[in-house]
Structure 1
Amino acid sequence: MRICWANTENYDESNVVILGVPDESKSHSLRKGTSEAPHKIREISNIRDTYKRGSDISTGFPLGGINTKVYDYGNILRTEVSDAIGKISSKSKIPITIGGDHSISTDIIKSLSKRYGSISLVYFDAHPDFISSSSGYYGSVLHDVLPDIDTKSSIQIGIRTPEQEEIDNIKKHDLSVITPWDVLKNGITEIEKTILGKIGKNTYISVDMDAIDPAYAPGVSVPVPLGLGNLEVVYLLKSIVKRGIVGLDIMEVCPGYDIKDRTSHLASRMIAEVISAIN
């Protein structure tokens, strides 16, 4: 099943490539099931983001429509991520990856850095994922990609439950962090200015859906109250994307814990809004 936003069956003519990685082998979460997310997000996109009039099936595009050519690559194994991302980026296409657990982002970023050099990382998450005492799992992503990113032009957004080790690493590497409290205090337009003033040329966005408050995204592997609003996240995503990105991922949707597929539907809509903002 293709995501409903795919509008071409010709890989060569596409600008954006959707691919799923149904793997959670490096997650330590008590909640299991993120490997089901690529299928569920595609399924829900076709159920809720399309409508039928007579014999015609149409897609409800975001305001402004989608002019970008989007190809659904299907699902791949975790071991295939590096090569697949390398193939996509070598043709200057933008990969949008659906996980799976957040450690998948490590392989994506490392592959992209081989093409673009040091990456400017925008990391939406409730957790910093900056554990350095362990590596190769969903809580060590920032530590594992340090050689591949420019920390001076990278930023974390939505952080609200760091461990002491992560706080120490954030300070050590002088990584910028925006919390939900910052958004509440300063307002979304000031936060937008801060982000756009921070990020560099080759920007990659990684979204753990638990950055969003469980009121909007209950179906995640590690829900944390007091998170970002769904509209706030989409607003910031679109602003960043308009500046140009080399890729994006959406991770940690956990369909088995969702409520009426709200999180999967939100993830689908977020993908559409990102695509609609690509120049």
Structure 2
Amino acid sequence: MGLKDGSFTLTTKFMASCDSYEEASVVMVGVPMDFTCSFRPGTRFGPQKIREVSIGIEEYSIYMDKDLTDFKYFDCGDLDLPFGNVEGSLALIGDSAGEIIKDGKFPLFIGGEHLISVPVIRKVYEKYGDDLIVIQFDAHADLREGYIGCANSHASAVRRLTEFMPAGNIYQFGIRSGTRDEFKFARKNTHLYPFEVLEPVKKVMDNFRDKPIYITLDIDVVDPAYANGTGTPEPGGISSKELIQAVNLLCSLNIVGFDIVEVSPPYDASDRTALLAAKIIRDVILSTDK
């Protein structure tokens, strides 16, 4: 497979995407996978919906004082996955991420469920090693050993990361749901900041100011009142404003990869969840030119 050999489907581009992979510094890949969703499926429709609604926001970001029209980024479209084949799909995702990284470009992946982050982060870690910091915004700890006997589950995505990178390099923000064992593991192994996002980010960001940083953002970190289009909504979350502020704060650092996951359009007739995701993606793209 490869980014240039017809293994993608693209019907609508994210706004202002250029037509050349070679010229782009940022490469966007949609991953329409929700094979292991534990509550409500539908995140396979997330990447395309985010693209569709992107036309509803401005190319100019007042937060960044930058404009997408001044950037070269390429939207590959959605990966063509072997439906229902979790291991095969993860391999394809990893191959795509590896090619983007090998070509010296910034990987930006849109889910899909949170499990899609694992092969992407693995490839980023292969490049940066133990210097890599992973920042997780999420309602759920995602630290289960497995879910109903399945090790590869969106409920265990972050636990899978600890099998190939130091757990102490993982910072978890906004977490407000998980099993007793997950929280026990997190308090012992990762950096856990439950409930809040912006204030703890401000307090600890100096710890990784000079490190390469990968952000994995599960949209359910936001309260369902602001982002109800997700498969496992969890009341008691942060506002969309707080998330935008936190992402923009971190984007001043050395971000080397990004994914946004768990947007599930069937549960949001207003499209406000997808619009929030599109706005965050825009600012992440704009942040790559320091």
Q: TM-score range by the shorter chain?
A: 0.7 to 0.9
Q: For residue 274 of structure 1, what is the aligned residue in structure 2?
A: 284
SS in 2 for 1:2: coil
Counterparts of 1:109 and 1:60 in 2: how far apart (Å)? 28
Match status 1:176 vs 2:191: yes
Distance 1:190 1:128, change over 3 A: closer
Residue 140 of structure 2 corresponds to residue 127 of structure 1: yes
Task: Quote the Cα distance in structure 2 between the aligned partners of 1:109 and 1:228.
Answer: 25
SS in 2 for 1:139: helix
Contact preservation (8 Å) 2:209, 2:253: no
Displacement of 1:198 in angstroms is 4.4
Corresponding residue to 1:140 among 140, 156, 162: 156
User: Given residue 171 of structure 1, which amino acid in structure 2 is its aligned partner?
Assistant: R
Structure 2 counterpart of 1:104: 116
Q: Matches of 1:71 and 1:148 in 2, distance apart?
A: 29
Query: Is it true that 1:75 corresponds to 2:91 in the alignment?
Result: no
Matches within 5 A, 1:138-217: 138-173=154-189, 175-180=190-195, 182=196, 188=198, 191-198=201-208, 201-217=211-227
What is the DSSP-based 3-state SS (H/G/I as helix, E as strand, rest coil) of the residue aligned with 1:157? strand
Residues 27-54 of structure 1, C-alpha deviation per residue, up to 9 Å, x if partnerless? 222x1110011111111112x12xxxxx
Measure, in 2, the Cα distance between the counterparts of 1:165 and 1:259: 36
Q: Does the CA contact (< 8 Å) of 1:18 and 1:95 recur in 2?
A: yes
Alpha-carbon offset, residue 258 of structure 1? 0.8
Q: What is the alpha-carbon distance in structure 1 between the residues aligned to residue 117 and residue 206 of structure 2?
A: 22
Residue of structure 2 aligned with 1:23, choices 29, 33, 41? 33
Amino acid at match of 1:162: G
Quote the offset at 1:193 in angstroms: 3.2
Q: Alignment length, in residue pairs?
A: 261
Contact 1:121/1:149 (8 A) holds in 2 = no
Could you tell me which residue of structure 2 aligns to residue 3 of structure 1? 14
- For residues 114 and 99 of structure 1, the distance between their equivalents in structure 2, rounded to whole angstroms, comes to 21
Number of the residue aligned with 1:54: none
For normalisation by structure 2, the TM-score amounts to: 0.84
Partner of 1:52: none
SS of residue in 1 equivalent to 2:154: coil
Structure 1 residue matching 2:108: 3-state secondary structure: strand
CA pair 129-145 structure 1, distance change in 2 beyond 3 A: same
Q: Distance in 1 between matches of 2:143 and 2:210?
A: 21
CA shift digits 1:187-218 (9 cap, x unpaired): x4563232342466221100110001111111
Helix, strand or coil for the counterpart of 1:13? coil
Q: Cα deviation per residue 1:226-252 (whole Å; 9 max; x = unaligned)? A: 111112111111222221112111100
What do you get for the CA RMSD once the two structures are aligned?
A: 1.8
* Equivalent residue, structure 2, for 1:45: 54
CA distance in 2, matches of 1:252, 1:60: 24
Identical columns (%): 31
Question: Residue 65 of structure 1 corresponds to which residue in structure 2?
Answer: 66
Q: Select which of 249, 256, 274 maps to 1:239.
A: 249
In structure 1, what residue type is equivalent to 2:142? D
Task: Summarize the Cα distance change of 1:33–1:131 in structure 2 as closer, same or farther, 3 Å threshold.
Answer: same
Contact (CA 8 Å) 2:139, 2:234: kept in 1 or not? yes
Give the distance between the partners of 2:119 and 2:106, measured in 1 at CA: 15
Distance in structure 2 (CA, Å) of the matches to 1:147 and 1:202: 19
User: How far, CA to CA, are the matches of 1:196 and 1:207 in structure 2?
Assistant: 20
Q: Tell me, in whole angstroms, the C-alpha distance in 2 between the residues paired with 1:240 and 1:18.
A: 20
Does structure 1 retain, via aligned residues, the 8 Å contact 2:117–2:157?
yes
